[in-house]
Amino acid sequence: MTTRSVTLRELFLVAGTRGMLGAGIGLLMAPRLSHTQRRFLGKALLLVGIVSTGPLLWRIFGRGQ
């Protein structure tokens, strides 16, 4: 079994990107904003969550063993 060490900073970054991803999905489904606002904000947060997750996962799991 492989053990990974994650710093507190990395943990917060991963949690933050997951939060942005969830907020983006929530905004895409939220009824209170206008359709245009909801789609713009939802897609922006979704994109930030997806794009920022790749480098973080590479940093955590791509390290030498």
Distance CA 60, CA 65 (A): 11
Distance CA 41, CA 60 (A): 28
Tens-binned pLDDT, residue by residue, of the chain (65 aa): 677 777 888 888 888 888 877 877 777 777 877 888 878 887 887 788 778 777 777 777 776 44
Tell me the two tokens of residue 31: 């009824």
Distance CA 54, CA 63 (A): 14
Claim: this prediction has a pTM higher than 0.75: no
Per the CB < 8 A criterion, the answer to whether 25 and 46 are in contact is yes
- Every domain of the chain and the residues it spans: 8-51
Per the CB < 8 A criterion, the answer to whether 49 and 28 are in contact is no
